[in-house]
Amino acid sequence: MKSPLLEVTDLKKHFFVHSGALGTGGATVYAVDGVSFTIDRAETLALVGESGCGKSTVGRCILRLFDITSGQVMLDGKRIDELSAGALRPFRRRVQVVFQDPFSSLNPRMRVRDILAEPIRNFRLATSRAELAARVDRLLEVVRLPRDAAKRWPHEFSGGQRQRIGIARALAAEPDLIVCDEAVSALDVSVKAQIVNLLYDLQQELGLAMLFISHDLAIVEHMTHRVAVMYLGKIVELAPKRALFAAPKHPYTQALLSAVPVPEPGAARQRIILKGDVPSPINPPKGCRFHTRCPYAFERCRAEEPALRATAGGHLSACHLHDLPAAQNPLAAAA
């Protein structure tokens, strides 16, 4: 059986933050604390959750912008978390990133032509100047920008257009996987929709795999195959998109989803307002990390951490309620 394109197993990334005047004190931030998932070729997985849940840290670990604390990251069956800088080079071409901020992520002193030519040159993907120029033209076409954009500077473009340039730059390396880290969060609503549609079209046309990191469930609904929901460094639910949006199994997913507008006029979800803020990843709650905010928390939740495991409808969910008989399960009663 073919291995998935990306396989992340029990990934942990802990940071030590120094404190005190001499930097002698400090604490550990459990930013990512045991995350596992796979992404197949030509598949999009959305990683969603509130700010500070660790989703962007997962992306940066996969990109090897951070060294991981423990666990494994495999690309095409090969472990990449242990590779030296030199051995990482071919991997760097295969996994590219589109960052959130289209204003700071492009070098203001480079014309668009040079921004797009840089990865093509670095990875020796063109054999002549003519081929290089043709590739740049093609990239602009793919992201729906005019050919004359090549000779212009980043500041001459709007936020949405800059994000198209950022996407073209990621595509220039001919990657297998693109990590989109809050790639549309900084954009206006209408532009956001255009870029999401573009990413969706590219994913379909080019057969790319994507890890789409977002705090906004509504955005991912139209473009992903599966959704993983993160809370305080852990995945609490992972399911095919349709199943997750139709019947979320985890109380946290239910709360997130209740805030997503329903397109049909007159239809409405009952909004679930969570109490309190996300606890600090320096001192995450014992047991289920969500128990301090969960409307259904019971004694076991405060003592025992629930494992992410298969439940009905093809979901993986980490919640003790799944062990209760239907008559005692408030989620079953609410369904």
- 296 near ligand SF4, judged by CB under 6 A: yes
Closest distance to ligand SF4 from the beta carbon of 236 (Å): 7
Identify the residue among 117, 290, 311, 315 touching ligand SF4 (CB under 6 A).
290
CB nearer ligand SF4, residue 183 or residue 321: 321
Go through 146-165 and write b for each residue having 16 or more CB atoms within 10 A of its CB, e for each that does not.
Answer: eeebbebebeebebbbbbbb
Find tokens 């919640």 and name the residue: 319
The pair of structure tokens assigned to 225 is: 């195959």
Contact 296, 330 (CB under 8 A): yes
CA atoms within 13 Å, Cβ hemisphere of 213: 24
Report d(CA 56, CA 1) in Å as an integer: 30
User: In this complex, which beta carbon is closest to ligand SF4, that of residue 93 or of residue 291?
Assistant: 291
Residue 162 or 250 having the CB closest to ligand SF4: 250
Residue 306 as a binder of ligand SF4 (CB under 6 A): the answer is yes
Q: In a 10 Å sphere around its CB, with 0-12 CB exposed, 13-18 middle and 19+ buried, how is residue 19 labelled?
A: exposed
What are the CA-CA distances from residue 7 to residues 36, 117, 168, 292, 328 (Å)? 8, 30, 26, 31, 36
Beta carbon of residue 254, minimum distance to ligand SF4 (angstroms, whole number): 10
Among 48, 145, 297, 308, binds ligand SF4 (CB under 6 A): 297
Q: At what angle do helices 159-172 and 189-206 cross, to 10 degrees?
A: 20
| Cβ-proximal residues to 97 (8 Å cutoff; 6+ apart), any chain | 59, 63, 170, 178, 179, 180, 181
Stretch that binds ligand SF4, among 51-59, 92-100, 166-174, 291-299 (CB under 6 A): 291-299
* Residue count, binding to ligand SF4 (CB under 6 A): 12
Residue 281 binding ligand SF4, by CB under 6 A:
no
Which lies closer to ligand SF4 via its Cβ, residue 244 or residue 321?
Answer: 321
- Alpha carbons 330 and 335: distance in angstroms, whole number: 9
Nearest residue (CB) to ligand SF4, 9 versus 329: 329
Question: Looking up tokens 């063109």, which residue turns up?
Answer: 126
Which window, 98-106, 191-199, 216-224, 284-292, contacts ligand SF4 (CB under 6 A)? Answer: 284-292
Residue 177: partners with Cβ closer than 8 Å, 6 or more residues away? 5, 6, 39, 75, 94, 95, 96, 208, 209, 210, 211
* Of 95 and 318, CB closest to ligand SF4: 318
Q: Which is nearer to ligand SF4, 143 or 301 (CB)?
A: 301
Q: Is 301 a residue that touches ligand SF4 (CB under 6 A)?
A: yes
308 binds ligand SF4 (CB under 6 A): no
CB of 312 to ligand SF4, least distance (A): 15
Q: And the tokens for 47?
A: 């990683």
Contacts (Cβ under 8 Å, ≥6 apart) of 20: 26
The enclosing H or E element of 48 equals strand 44-48
Told to check if 284 binds ligand SF4 by CB under 6 A, we report: no
Tell which one of 135, 169, 315, 320 touches ligand SF4 (CB under 6 A): 320
Encoded one letter per residue, x for contact with ligand SF4 by CB under 6 A and - for no contact, window 245-274 reads ------x-----------------------
Query: Per CB under 6 A, does 315 bind ligand SF4?
Result: no
- By C-beta, is 123 or 296 nearer to ligand SF4? 296
Chain residues that interact with ligand SF4, rule: CB under 6 A = 251, 288, 290-291, 294, 296-297, 301, 306, 319-321
